Structure 1
Amino acid sequence: MTLTLDNRTRNKESSLTQALRQIQELNSKIAVLEQEHRDYVEKQQNLIVAIAEICVSPMQEVEGLRILIYRGEAACRQYLRSVLVKQRQTS
């Protein structure tokens, strides 16, 4: 009888230990995702500022924002570079 109770206790402790480890792993993954999200938001905000600074017409700004929203950061940066090149060529 004592052996059976000891085994049950060990199994419960093992299950609890395993559950605790899984919770810690999930918390770590959540922390990583939260940091990635903060980084993403910061990049988006920086690009919005860059769009406002680089684009000289409202149509260029709208196009820059549209590209950022629908095609992403890399395409937006490429668009801003092309706007800068065109501005240099005309000046």
Structure 2
Amino acid sequence: MTLTLDNHSQTSQTRESSLTKALRQIQHLNSKVTDLERQHQDYVRSQQNLISAIAEICVSPMQEIEALRILICQGEAECRRYLRSLLINQKKASIKKEGR
């Protein structure tokens, strides 16, 4: 009879341990989901800011198309590099105009 009680107690502890482990895993997954949602929101915000910058910096439709192509194919960093180069060229052209 003692054997039965001990066996039942062990089974109960195993179930409890399994439930505790499952709960810990669920909490861990919920934490990961929250982190991914935050990263996604940051990414979307960043892309929206970049698209606004493309519209402000590019002076021709061809430059806008090129900037968007770079963004899609090569990523955000390359697109920012392209926009910086456009700004530098615009500044140089502005300085040349003022010097005339």
TM-score, scaled relative to structure 2: 0.89
Q: What is residue 13 of structure 2 aligned with on the other side?
A: 10
CA drift at 1:76: 0.6
Choose the corresponding residue for 1:66, options 62, 65, 69.
69
Q: Find the counterpart in structure 2 of residue 54 from structure 1.
A: 57
One-letter code aligned to 1:4: N
In the TM superposition, structure 1's runs of 4+ consecutive aligned residues that sit over 3 Å from their partners are none
C-alpha RMSD of matched pairs (Å): 0.6
**Match of residue 19, structure 1, among 19, 22, 25:** 22
- Specify the alignment match of 2:48 in structure 1: 45
Looking at structure 2, the residues matched to 19 and 82 of structure 1 have their Cα atoms a distance apart, in angstroms, of 53
Q: In the alignment, which residue of structure 1 is the partner of 2:78?
A: 75
Quick one: which amino acid aligns to residue 52 of structure 1?
A
Larger radius of gyration: 2
Give the TM-score of the pair, scaled to structure 1: 0.98
Q: Quick one: distance in 2 between partners of 1:89 and 1:75? A: 21
How far off its partner does 1:7 sit? 0.4
CA distance in 2, matches of 1:66, 1:52: 14
Matched residue type, 1:24:
Q
Runs of 5+ unmatched residues, structure 1: none
Query: Is residue 33 from structure 1 mapped to residue 57 from structure 2 by the alignment?
Result: no
Gaps of 5+ in 2: 95-100
